[in-house]
Structure 1
Amino acid sequence: MKHKFTKYLGRVTENLELGFEEKWIYVHYTKGSIEKTACLLKNEVKSNEEYLEGFFTENHVSEEMKKEVRKFLKNEKNHNDTHWNEFTTFLMKALSLNMVFGITIAICVYAGYKLGALLDTRFDIYPTLTLIGIFTGIGLGGVTVYSMVQKYFTSPTPKRKDKEQSINMEPVDIRNFPVIDVTIEDVRMAIRKFSDNLPKGVYRTILVQDDNSIDFKQLASLLGGIPSKNFFMSKETYDLFEESEKQIPLEMDIVQKAVDQYVKEHKEYPMLKFDPQHRVNYYQLLQDHYLKGAPEIQFYITDLDGLVTHIKPQKKTSSQS
């Protein structure tokens, strides 16, 4: 069985897939445009974490990802220990109750035999009632043993987890939170904490409303209040903006989708080959109908897996010896 882990490092997505077998560990790792696959042979007496540590160091896996994997491996070990404890408890119960079950059935059969034999002697119809008494004793013994199994071997229904889940799903009442002043960095940190606790397959874009503004009802508990001003986020790059720049994420999402589609079909970026600033070439996107109109903002293609940015890249200066 394979286990997948995902981390969002700013604009770059980091993915790790692990598969544990008896003799080896399968690892598939991607970070932006970097992709590594390895099969780690388990030929020494080491833990899974120790086998993975070398791969993590060699490929510069983020601390956030390593922390999540270590947490998973620890929980997996505790889970296995729990199963072992449950098995040993079951075994002890089986060994201690085995004798009780045998004695119970023996007593019921013996009592049925004696009662049937007594009635046969009185009514002189041997062995009819004796046989009926024996089979009745077997049935009564079986019912008694079944009742004991249900009482001692059936696990209790877990109710606490369901209760905790129902509590966590309760909607947040923003009237209980004050209006506060926050910085864009405060919002960024709150979004990261929020996304770290999301289930697999659910992304932080659930925070973004139709106008690209952030729904702070979901972040109120992390921020300690509702911000006094709006903040905006790109659904494609996760960049954050203040209200004075709210037009940027709207156009950024349109341009990013157009660039992604162009790359998918043309296998190259829509920019001039010798442009040192890597500006998005709107003419190419308009000509092939990836854009309906030229954006007012100039965007640039970064080295981070083809993500676009509105920030003009700085000129690289050569170091002098």
Structure 2
Amino acid sequence: MQTPRRVTVLGECVADLFAGPGPALPHTGAPGPAPDRQGMTLRVLPGGGPANTAVGLARLGTPTRLMARLSGDVFGRLFRARLLESGVDLTGAPTAEEPSTLAVADVDAGGVASYSFHAEGTADWQWTRAELAAGDLRDSACVHTGSLALVREPGGPLAEELLAGVRPHATVSIDPNVRPALVDPEVYRDRLPGWCAVADILRLSQDDLDAVAPDVTAEAACDGFHAAGARLVVVTLGAHGALASLDGRRISVPGVPTRVVDTVGAGDAFTAGLLHHLGKHGLLGGRLERLTPEGLAAACAYAVRVAALTCAVAGPNPPWAHRMEQEPSATRAGSLS
């Protein structure tokens, strides 16, 4: 094992707003039912898929740079503080005049969140070619992006240009992170073949697959993504672990039992764990030529543990490296087929 080389993450930071009951109205002392509550309270956590992945990578020990347009508003200041405290390099993160993107989370009884977005005219999507060109990516072994950064105008096409430009020297990783509430899944469906043509790693959730390839099995979807150019496809299956496909060789990794507080950021944490493990074993920086099915199984088992620890705490709060060392490793890396 070795010290991982730098990973650069390109994408958005989103303020995740979690609603709770408002304060109780003061009791007047008069007989009758208990007083009503007034309004609601909002708990704000810094999130956004790419930002969560950058935080997870840095906390695990991978040198990580985030290229993001961070607003100068109160939420943008919250983003910067969290990213810097986690060890993320923000030299590629200009301060933007536009406001931050907001996502209102609705968490069900099982801890699964759905979102409504406030994203029109916000900072994250307004990339210019000059801003992206200012980021020096020559020292990056891997460039990871995805989510809304690839589908929102005007920045999306510029992000795709950047990926094509770094491919000669860096592994390219993409997480579509489909958001049907904000972008029609048809947009993702149309662009996925182009992403696969430049991506070495494609990570999707089962929900992503259900949105872009309904009624298609995960195995068949993997084959389609391979045919379009992606060498490694990983589908995360929530509590059931993950299915990975390396040039068509399938790997199943079981989930790790955990007490779920919520699943916010779990997929992003999985991606961070996967890229960190691959980088620590010197497998990033090219087309994954030295990655074996056994090595992939170990990387996915590690990533599943990272995701499980994230589910055990509130919000997108991936574990630090010392927390991973305290947790026992999985007894089985996974089954190969």
TM-score range, shorter chain: under 0.3
TM-score (norm 1): 0.25
Structure with higher helix content = 1
